[in-house]
Amino acid sequence: MPSALGPKASLYVTCVIDQLYPEVGVSVVRVLRHLGVTVDFPPDQTCCGQPLFNSGFAAQARQLARRVLLSFKDASYVVVPSGSCAAMMRVFYLDLFDNDPVMRQQANEFSSKVYEFSEFLVKVLNVTSVGAQSAGSATYHPSCHLLRELGVREEPQQLLANVDGLEMVDLPNKESCCGFGGTFSVKYPHISEDMVTDKVNSVLSTGADTLVSCDMSCLMNIGGSLSRQRKPVNVKHLAQMLDREAS
């Protein structure tokens, strides 16, 4: 049963992690529980609506946003292991309900409960070291929405710096976009490919054996390119680096 001591967090796992990288979700749950957080998973959750919103389908995005607001209406914290989904829910839901005062109010209240995973650890739990261990070297790619919509810059790097035994290598041009951009990657594949090539070259130039980020969609992009080129670089979500049970 939930402990009465720790905070309660509702996990919004994101559809990318749910459908493609479930092991990341498992690590998120383990890390949170290890830190004394009571985690629940509202089972009705699906997509936050971001792919629709970014493609201009605001009405459909609104439909999915309403579902999210309903599924998480009793949550005290909503923890999201993705900078871009968290940005959608915290920042862009407000835009989405610009002309609807009732929903806008709900979106506003919801917005203040949304935390990206690393942000939740550092800002809410006041944790910068989770006691994780690792070997080898890693480099960190700050994803665009995490950085520029949520302003989360230092938190993931603090957490990584405190992983025992892990050597962090700075990623050159780290703040440039990896070229994913949701539907942009298939609307303009030639531009997206060229952008990810630059990112892959930056990653390879560090010599690190692991690439870490807080967004699986960026990692799907960079990792997809690394894997096509048969480059032996591991691709990991921050939660996996902090999870003491993850192999």
Partner 1 sequence: MPQIKTQDFFDASALSIKDPELRQALQRVGTGFDNARREAIDEVSAEVWEQWRESARQIKEHTIDHLDYYLELLHDNVTKNGGQVHFARDAEQANAIVANLVKSKGVKIVTKGKSMVSEELSLNPVLEGLGTEVYETDLGEYIIQLANETPSHLVAPALHKTKAQVAQLFSDKLGVPYTDDIEEMARVAREALRGKFLAADMGISGANFLVAETGSLVIITNEGNGRLCTSAPRIHVGITGMEKVIPSLHDLAVFLRLLPRSATGQRLTSYMSMVSGPRRESDEDGPEEFHLVIVDNGRSKMLADPKLRESLYCIRCGACLNICPVYQKVGGHAYGWVYPGPIGAIVTPSLVGLKQAKDLPFASSLCGACREACPVKINIPRMLLHLRQELTESSEPAVNSTPALESILARCYTATMSHPTLLSMGTKLLKLLQIPVARNGRIQKAPFAPLSRWTRSRDLPAVPQRSFREIWRQELSGSNQSHQ
Ranges within 134-163 binding partner 1 (CB under 8 A): 144-145, 147-149
Stretch that binds partner 1, among 21-29, 106-114, 119-127, 203-211 (CB under 8 A): 21-29
25 in contact with partner 1 (CB under 8 A): yes
195 in contact with partner 1 (CB under 8 A): yes
207 in contact with partner 1 (CB under 8 A): no
Min separation Cβ 73 and partner 1, Å:
17
Min separation Cβ 181 and partner 1, Å:
3
Task: Give the separation between CA 36 and CA 233, rounded to whole angstroms.
Answer: 32
Min separation Cβ 53 and partner 1, Å:
7
Q: Is 39 or 137 the residue whose CB approaches partner 1 more closely?
A: 39
Q: Is 19 or 167 the residue whose CB approaches partner 1 more closely?
A: 19
176 in contact with partner 1 (CB under 8 A): yes
Contact between residue 45 and residue 75 where contact means Cβ atoms under 8 Å apart: no
Min separation Cβ 164 and partner 1, Å:
16
- The b/e string for 208-217 (b: 16+ C-beta within 10 A; e otherwise) is bebbbbbbbb
Min separation Cβ 125 and partner 1, Å:
13
User: Cα 134 vs. chain centroid, distance in angstroms?
Assistant: 21
205 in contact with partner 1 (CB under 8 A): no
The beta strands (E) that lie in the chain are given as 8-11, 38-40, 78-80, 114-116, 137-140, 167-169, 210-213, 234-237
Residue list 86-105, contact with partner 1 (CB under 8 A): 92, 95
234 in contact with partner 1 (CB under 8 A): no
Residue list 45-74, contact with partner 1 (CB under 8 A): 45-47, 49, 51-60, 63-64, 67
For residue 91, give the nearest of 110, 73, 65, 111 by alpha carbon: 111
Contact between residue 235 and residue 23 where contact means Cβ atoms under 8 Å apart: no
- Side chain identity at residue 148, one-letter code: R
* Residue found by looking up tokens 């919509």 in the block: 149
Contact between residue 218 and residue 206 where contact means Cβ atoms under 8 Å apart: no
Which DSSP category does 76 fall into?
Answer: S
Among 75, 78, 125, 196, binds partner 1 (CB under 8 A): 196
Residue 54: both structure tokens together: 């970014």
Min separation Cβ 167 and partner 1, Å:
25
